[in-house]
Structure 1
Amino acid sequence: MVLEGFMAACGQTVVSTGVSKLLTLLVAIQSAALASFGGGPDFDPKYYVDIPLRYSLNETARAFDALPRLQNNTIPPRVLEQFLSQYFELADSNVIADAPKDFNRIPQNFLPLVHNPQVRKWALQIHELWLELSRKISPSVAMNPNKNTLLPLNNTVLVPGARFREVYYWDSYWVIKGLLVSGMTDTAKGVIENLMELAERYGFVPNGARIYYENRSQPPLLSMMIRAVYEKTHDKALLKRALPILLREHAFWTSEPHEVRVRDKNGDEHRLSRFWAHWNSPRPESFTIDTHVARGMNKSRAAQLYHDIATAAESGWDFSSRWMEDQQNLRTLRTSMIIPVDLNAFLFQMEKNVEYFASILGNQTIQTQFASAASDRQRAIQRILWSRKRGQWFDAWLSPNGCSFSENDNKTIVYEWKQKRLTYASNFVPLWAGVLPKGDPRRALVVEALNKSGLVLPAGIATSLRNTGQQWDFPNAWAPLVDMVIEGLDASGIPRGKMMAKAISQSWIRSNYEAYHQVGKMLEKYDATSCGKIGGGGEYNLQTGFGWSNGVVLSLLQKYGWPADKPLFCPDAL
């Protein structure tokens, strides 16, 4: 068969690593489309693994095998176009536009601190975007799993926007923050229920609601979503439903290979976590891109690179110099051998949240267990990742050759490690996560370090200081990182930190507003160097929509408001 020959010729093990025959077909079509149509800026490999089949999988595969090939084994473009039109639906045909029942065009008590009519008008436009991003999964998805890569979900889903036609894990936290500002509590609960259903199905929340995301998760923020909704509703039934699911998710992140052991300079042993995708082949949604990146590598080295590419996708930072040994070379990704600051801050937060939920539910055993787990992780973060001299936390790089065995278990590896002291916005996430307790004098060190870091720019927080062309690097600013930095500064208890938080919030809102009026859309990412400037870089075009950007703007306006006499335009436009 053509499909089998395609996979063998590419040296891939997609079928043997657990991907279904459906994905094998779609990946082959993706590669054929690249060869036939060319790889211009509008070519999106993800499209070809998202399109639902009209007919049975076997019938479609036979039809694809039967397509005429040219001498160079490519399919004539018109022939491939006709095949796609005949055998496939459009990529978004299996999701149905949905108007959530709790949506009101002018929500009650909406943004009471916003007194500027221009800002209020824009905020209501952002609020209305929830209608554009709300979907129901078609019943056909559950009825025909061999025709769809989409996963069935029972409640309304909020998609990020544009090419992202499905639910994503960590995006959903900031979507929920925005939904709560919009008074859409029931919809927010439904978003959480969808993620809990996925966690029950897989033992973790996948990166997104597609079968090709089943090999990895994303930053674990489910407990934060649950806490945000609980603090709005005081719904104990939600906590009771969520607790066993959170225990299972916690076990996923705190067992091998995600969990690793290291020793501090005093010889004390600690447990921390890393990102680790269960995958060593090209990502189906980016198959043609990944195989190009690994071109010329031997099979073993390519498999390791594919693993680290998928692991970077689990981190949410796909891609960044943060994960590269050579900061300009994507082929030197080492993601799976890094203990990330932000992941362990998220897990500390999860442990504190589970402790809190257990206390409300009267489960003293779990409360005590997770209080201890949070304390252990807090200590590990401070011993391994904290730099007092630099006033921030740094990722620790594990040595693949430098390791020993645990004194308590001679089968468990204890890695040697070294802090990589490079500046990223993630270095400051533990301040937001509460790793330093209230009143801790080190909070002032963190505020001062951020102020001097070079990350605070006229239009937000740059992701890094290095311009690599990757989207999670300079000069891009992303809503979730900006929000975590602002919230961390505000919660620092340091007057300078609170002032910085408000100033960054205002510059971010202004930049989002200016870009909105340039493009007519909310955007996935922005350029931190100039107010209203649009972000770029990465392996796909800039996306619009956009779930977490909407949620952050609404939540910042809820928190800080906007005075009637304060201009909204960028400073250089005044």
Structure 2
Amino acid sequence: MAPKSWSLLVAAFCLCHDGSTMKLPPPCDSYIYCTGELLHQVQMAKLFNDDKHFVDMKLKINPDVVLEAYRNLTATSPTRLTKEQLKLFVQTYFDSPGQEFEKWTPGDWGDHPRILHKISDQKLRLWATELHALWKSLGRKIKLDVQSHAELYSQIYVPKPLIVPGGRFREFYYWDSYWIIKGLLLSEMTETAKGMIENFLYLIQRFEFIPNGGRVYYERRSQPPFLVLMMDSYIKVTNDRAFLRQNIDLLDKEYDFWMKNRTVVIIAGGKTHLVNRYIVEAAGPRPESYSNDVDLAKTLTEAARRDLWLELKTGAESGWDFSSRWFIDSNGENNGTLKDTKTKYILPVDLNSVLCRNERILAMFHRELGNSLKAQYYEEALKSRIAAVRDIFWDETQGIWFDYNLMSNRSNTAFYASNLAPLWAECFTEQKPGQTAEMVIHYLEEQQLLWYSNGIPTSLVASGEQWDSPNAWPPLQQIIIEAWQSLARRQLGASHSSKHRNGSKQTGLCIRSTKPCLRNTM
């Protein structure tokens, strides 16, 4: 059970509610794409169905000229500009989104990767073949003009071609790219996968971290740190040790960013733990969702609006935008609506699990490269992380890990798919082999989570938000499957054949009970 009595080192957590002790910067420094009256007027006029459309448009001429033209236009108008005036202004000075790309087809795409021949079911093979073909339509290469005339674009330049998620997402996104790269490697597209990793390394050199996505309005927020895991996946397939050696310092640099800028010091049970959270210290509405953020906050005080807009960007940094997971009501309880988003006050199980995997992999990388001191550093960090995950997130009574609410000083005991992340990261120790596996299975059975026909839901809360019931996001399903594989390995490795505590028997990779169970078919 998580400790009932906690002490928070205030110096590590200070972020004043009224913003009086600090003036936060906007999402980026552009007076067109991130802040300013032009952005406000265009987005609040709702010229487009999606606010992202405007901030993805290319400027036709220098932004200073555009801003001067806007000032001249508003100076001659006795009232607020009409929707038609704004529409004409945008048509005059902006090009439609997508001007930043040139045509590109992945050169390493092939018709028949080996993975397709391993699928015996004809329908599944056809489906996988169609998925494999999507790489050709989702590939993008950014024009050199974006590098030489960066002021005209919201696109962040990266040198190598890449794969985008598609739809309204015309640019790379950080944690999405982990699963994209895993797919590219299955499709034997190692050159494209390496290029995407090189792009992220380029971004670390430029920003000292990896932005949420490939737009300037994402410049002050990141996403779950999966770059080290991307590198690990690539190295396992290619054994490209020279590439690893060349870039290990940049992998260290990203880890340092998270440890210097996204941490809280907690004293629990007489022990001091350094754990990670999400927090984006940038002011104002999100440019890509500007009117939604303004409308959501319109009944709040000025200070409350500033707090909410910070919290929404922080929720976006988590990748879970949005979820009841981040709601904390006026009583400090995990409850409420989107307006009650308080992401920075939640210690997330999954973020700390991702960093646990970072530490384990970085220790391995440095050990293999002969950097014994660095390897030892990460081994010690891993040991500390496992202790923190145990002391802060593990609930012995229920047999699962939970996020921790810094306002109520209690665990949030609602189910979220992220509860299983420490199992996926193997970020725990146990006195008796298989003990944790048994407890987790019992929890999942008690919550009736093993017999959903379309995957384990993101949560059991029907809040209407994307990252809640009934949705079951693919990245979470993959993490759960890998967690289950880890659990199964520990079951098989257990040196006993005792019965499961509800009387069921261990049979191979599945716990046999009176209800259907998940079977490992990977």
Q: Shared topology, TM-score over 0.5?
A: yes
Secondary structure of residue in 2 paired with 1:282: coil
Secondary structure of residue in 2 paired with 1:111: helix
**Unmatched tracts of structure 1, length 5 or more:** 1-12, 400-415, 507-555, 561-574
Secondary structure of residue in 1 paired with 2:462: coil
- The 5 A counterparts of 1:164-313 are 164-256=169-261, 258-264=262-268, 266-313=269-316
Aligned pair 1:441/2:441, yes or no? no
TM-score (structure 2 length as normaliser): 0.85
Aligned pair 1:328/2:336, yes or no? yes
Hey, what's the Cα distance between the residues in 1 that align with 2:419 and 2:37? 37
Q: Name the counterpart of 1:530.
A: none
Query: Mean Cα displacement is larger for which, 150-159 or 321-330?
Result: 321-330
Hey, what's the Cα distance between the residues in 1 that align with 2:466 and 2:46? 28
Report the alpha carbon displacement of residue 26 of structure 1 after superposing the two structures with TM.
Answer: 7.9
Q: Name the counterpart of 2:465.
A: 470
- 1:95–1:348 Cα change, 3 Å: same
Q: Name the counterpart of 1:128.
A: 133
- Letter matched to residue 345 of structure 2: M
Report the alpha carbon displacement of residue 55 of structure 1 after superposing the two structures with TM.
Answer: 1.4
Cα deviation code 1:401-458 (max 9, x no counterpart)? xxxxxxxxxxxxxxx9321211111111111111135944212211332233244421
Q: Name the counterpart of 2:30.
A: 20
- Letter matched to residue 86 of structure 1: T
Hey, what's the Cα distance between the residues in 1 that align with 2:209 and 2:46? 38
Report the alpha carbon displacement of residue 15 of structure 1 after superposing the two structures with TM.
Answer: 6.9
Aligned pair 1:340/2:348, yes or no? yes
- 1:100–1:497 Cα change, 3 Å: farther
Q: Name the counterpart of 1:373.
A: 381
Asked if structure 2 preserves the Cα contact closer than 8 Å seen for 1:36 and 1:75, the reply is: no
Q: 1:106 aligns with which of 93, 112, 115?
A: 112
Q: Name the counterpart of 1:86.
A: 92
Report the alpha carbon displacement of residue 64 of structure 1 after superposing the two structures with TM.
Answer: 3.3
Asked if structure 2 preserves the Cα contact closer than 8 Å seen for 1:455 and 1:464, the reply is: no
Asked if structure 2 preserves the Cα contact closer than 8 Å seen for 1:14 and 1:24, the reply is: no
TM-score (structure 1 length as normaliser): 0.77
Asked if structure 2 preserves the Cα contact closer than 8 Å seen for 1:30 and 1:49, the reply is: no
- 1:191–1:244 Cα change, 3 Å: same
Hey, what's the Cα distance between the residues in 2 that align with 1:361 and 1:74? 62
Q: Name the counterpart of 2:103.
A: 97
- Letter matched to residue 264 of structure 2: V
- 1:377–1:62 Cα change, 3 Å: same
- Letter matched to residue 317 of structure 1: W
Asked if structure 1 preserves the Cα contact closer than 8 Å seen for 2:116 and 2:129, the reply is: no
Q: Name the counterpart of 1:5.
A: none
Asked if structure 2 preserves the Cα contact closer than 8 Å seen for 1:425 and 1:463, the reply is: yes
- 1:194–1:21 Cα change, 3 Å: same
Secondary structure of residue in 2 paired with 1:305: helix
Hey, what's the Cα distance between the residues in 2 that align with 1:496 and 1:224? 32
Asked if structure 2 preserves the Cα contact closer than 8 Å seen for 1:159 and 1:165, the reply is: yes
**Unmatched tracts of structure 2, length 5 or more:** 1-22, 330-334, 492-505
Secondary structure of residue in 2 paired with 1:476: coil
Hey, what's the Cα distance between the residues in 2 that align with 1:59 and 1:113? 58
Q: Name the counterpart of 1:141.
A: 146
Cα deviation code 1:193-216 (max 9, x no counterpart)? 111111121111111111111111
Hey, what's the Cα distance between the residues in 1 that align with 2:42 and 2:118? 54
- Letter matched to residue 438 of structure 2: A
Report the alpha carbon displacement of residue 61 of structure 1 after superposing the two structures with TM.
Answer: 2.2
Secondary structure of residue in 2 paired with 1:43: coil
Hey, what's the Cα distance between the residues in 2 that align with 1:324 and 1:497? 40
Secondary structure of residue in 1 paired with 2:410: strand
- 1:17–1:32 Cα change, 3 Å: closer
Secondary structure of residue in 2 paired with 1:477: coil
Q: 1:32 aligns with which of 42, 53, 75?
A: 42
Hey, what's the Cα distance between the residues in 2 that align with 1:16 and 1:156? 29
Aligned pair 1:57/2:72, yes or no? no
Q: 1:452 aligns with which of 421, 446, 454?
A: 446
Report the alpha carbon displacement of residue 463 of structure 1 after superposing the two structures with TM.
Answer: 0.6
Report the alpha carbon displacement of residue 33 of structure 1 after superposing the two structures with TM.
Answer: 5.0
Secondary structure of residue in 2 paired with 1:254: helix
Hey, what's the Cα distance between the residues in 2 that align with 1:421 and 1:367? 35
Cα deviation code 1:537-563 (max 9, x no counterpart)? xxxxxxxxxxxxxxxxxxx9xx73xxx
- 1:485–1:17 Cα change, 3 Å: closer
Asked if structure 2 preserves the Cα contact closer than 8 Å seen for 1:280 and 1:305, the reply is: no
- Letter matched to residue 351 of structure 2: L
- Letter matched to residue 293 of structure 2: D
- 1:24–1:180 Cα change, 3 Å: closer
Report the alpha carbon displacement of residue 314 of structure 1 after superposing the two structures with TM.
Answer: 0.6
Hey, what's the Cα distance between the residues in 2 that align with 1:35 and 1:505? 50
Hey, what's the Cα distance between the residues in 2 that align with 1:24 and 1:350? 32
Secondary structure of residue in 2 paired with 1:216: coil
- Letter matched to residue 132 of structure 2: H
- The 5 A counterparts of 1:329-408 are 329-399=337-407
Asked if structure 2 preserves the Cα contact closer than 8 Å seen for 1:137 and 1:152, the reply is: yes
Hey, what's the Cα distance between the residues in 1 that align with 2:146 and 2:518? 41
Q: Name the counterpart of 1:406.
A: none
Q: Name the counterpart of 1:317.
A: 320
- Letter matched to residue 315 of structure 1: S
Report the alpha carbon displacement of residue 22 of structure 1 after superposing the two structures with TM.
Answer: 3.1
Secondary structure of residue in 2 paired with 1:114: coil
Hey, what's the Cα distance between the residues in 1 that align with 2:418 and 2:66? 45
